[in-house]
Structure 1
Amino acid sequence: MLRIDDLTKAFGRNKAVDAASIVVDKPVMIGIIGRSGAGKSTLLRMLNRLTDATSGAIMFEGQDVTQLRGAAKRNWQSQCAMIFQQFNLVPRMDVVSNVLHGTLNRRSTFATMFNLYPTEDIHRAIEILDRLGIAEHAPKRAEALSGGQQQRVAIARALMQDPKIILADEPIASLDPMNAQVVMQSLRDIHEQDGRMVIANLHTLDTARRYCDRVIGMRAGRIVFDGTPEQLTTGVARDIYGADETFSEAATSTEIETLSEEVAKLADIAESV
């Protein structure tokens, strides 16, 4: 279904992504982990064609995505929806209009200028918001919502594109643990219920293990791990992050119970000092 062959992105002598190769034969949910600067975001941006590859190929259902230009490239970007860490919503625009922006690629310039949408698209946007549990916020400005709610609006906008692949670049990095779990469960439900491929860049190991079918680890632009969540041991994680034996998974956890335990430990240490 998706094949990436020796994909490389170089900025001068520095290779942000170095000869990455991945084969995905069916829709799955994939988590990509690694420290900041490992090349995770650049890889997703090349998949979506927001950034051009220096070399290598991206094949999707037999088509070389790296060679697409003009309308064909825009069509690919509608099939390969992108969700960003900072939501990329229009803050002063109402929620349902933000979701409807997912249809911009198939609307005329005139309709876009005057914010005209078919009734069926408006109904579909509200249905998607209802599916994500935020339909009651449809008339509100996006800026009035919490971070977790805004990220669900961004997911709804992506679903309006009816994509085959959803790419999520650090979708929970700026969210609290409770909202992080809600957003990740939303992405998991979309994968399971719609049969869509989801590829998400993640910072937390427990999130990758809990929600993903497959985990890819990147270090210094290269893929150094590709396996199941069960194979992602603490030792493997240390290797991916280039850490020593002091590496603690709990410090990056999104599990509320784990975080509470860590806070309690820190409080005990502070008291003893």
Structure 2
Amino acid sequence: MLVLESLTKRFGANLAVDRATFKLDRPIMLGIIGRSGAGKSTLLRMMNRLTDASDGSLMFGGRDVLSLKGAEKRAWQSQCAMIFQQFNLVPRMDVVSNVLHGTLNRRSTFATLFNLFPSDDIHRAIDILDRLGIAQHAPKRAEALSGGQQQRVAIARALMQDPKIILADEPIASLDPMNAQVVMEALRRIHEEDGRTVIANLHTLDTARRYCDRVIGMRDGRIVFDGTPAQLTTGVARDIYGADETFSEEATSTEIRDPQGAAGRMHAPA
């Protein structure tokens, strides 16, 4: 399905990603963890072709993704949708129009200039927003929504592309714990219900363990761990983060606990 072989990115003398190699032979939810600067975001940007690789190969369905140009490259970017930490919405535009921007790669220049959308696309955008629990906000400006709601709008925009792969670059880094759980549960449902591959860059170990089928750990541009959530022990985490025995998972936890101390998932109001 997806094969990365020695994928490398250099910025001058700096080696941001060093021979990243892994493959996915079926749709899964994959978490990539590591400290800031480990190369996680650069890896996702190479996969989406927002950044050109310096070396290595990236194959999907037997096709060489790194060789794609022009319309074929744009088509790949629709199949491999990107969600960003800062949402990348148009703040003064209404929510449903932001979602409809997920169709730009397949629309004519004329339709794009005059913001003309087919009624079928409008209905589909609203259906996606409803699925994510925010259809009631469709006519509002994006800037009027909370951070968690805006991230769900960004997810809806990605789903409008009908992608095979969703890349989420630190999707919960700027959210409070309640909204972080709502967003991660939305991504997990999209994987399970749609059969789409979701690859998410994450900072917290509890999030990776709870929502991901497989976890990759990066340190200094290299993949230093590739295994199941159960294999992501505290000792392994120390190696990934380059930490000593004082490393505490609680310091990075996004887990919400009830007054009795029991961990649980909570949903933020829409």
TM-score, structure 1 normalization: 0.94
Cross-structure match for 2:267: none
The superposition leaves residues 109-132 of structure 1 with CA deviations (integer Å, 9 ceiling, x where unpaired) of: 000010000000000000000000
* Counterpart mapping for 1:202-213 below 5 A: 202-213=202-213
Cross-structure match for 1:181: 181
Cross-structure match for 2:67: 67
CA distance in 1, matches of 2:195, 2:256: 29
* Counterpart mapping for 1:95-134 below 5 A: 95-134=95-134
Cross-structure match for 2:231: 231
Displacement after TM superposition at 1:13 (Å): 1.6
* Counterpart mapping for 1:87-98 below 5 A: 87-98=87-98
Displacement after TM superposition at 1:257 (Å): 2.1
Q: Flag structure 2 segments of 5+ consecutive residues without an equivalent.
A: 262-270
CA distance in 2, matches of 1:256, 1:161: 33
**RMSD of aligned alpha carbons:** 1.3
The superposition leaves residues 174-201 of structure 1 with CA deviations (integer Å, 9 ceiling, x where unpaired) of: 0000000000000000000000000000
Deviates more, 1:8-17 or 1:170-179: 8-17
Q: Percent identity?
A: 83
Cross-structure match for 1:166: 166
Cross-structure match for 1:44: 44
Match of 1:21, SS state, is: strand
Match of 2:4, SS state, is: strand
Cross-structure match for 2:264: none
Cross-structure match for 1:2: 2
Displacement after TM superposition at 1:172 (Å): 0.1
Q: What one-letter code is carried by the residue in structure 2 that aligns with 1:164?
A: K
The superposition leaves residues 225-273 of structure 1 with CA deviations (integer Å, 9 ceiling, x where unpaired) of: 0000000000000000000000000110010229x98xxxxxxxxxxxx
Cross-structure match for 2:80: 80
The superposition leaves residues 27-72 of structure 1 with CA deviations (integer Å, 9 ceiling, x where unpaired) of: 0000000000000000000000000000000000000101111111
Match of 1:88, SS state, is: coil
Aligned residues: 261
- Rg comparison, structure with higher value: 1
Cross-structure match for 2:265: none
Match of 1:168, SS state, is: strand
Name whichever structure is richer in helix by fraction.
Answer: 1
Match of 2:257, SS state, is: helix
* Counterpart mapping for 1:191-270 below 5 A: 191-257=191-257
Cross-structure match for 1:270: none
Cross-structure match for 1:55: 55
Cross-structure match for 2:141: 141
CA distance in 1, matches of 2:141, 2:218: 38
Displacement after TM superposition at 1:217 (Å): 0.1
CA distance in 2, matches of 1:49, 1:148: 27
Moved over 4 A (4+): none
CA distance in 2, matches of 1:232, 1:137: 39
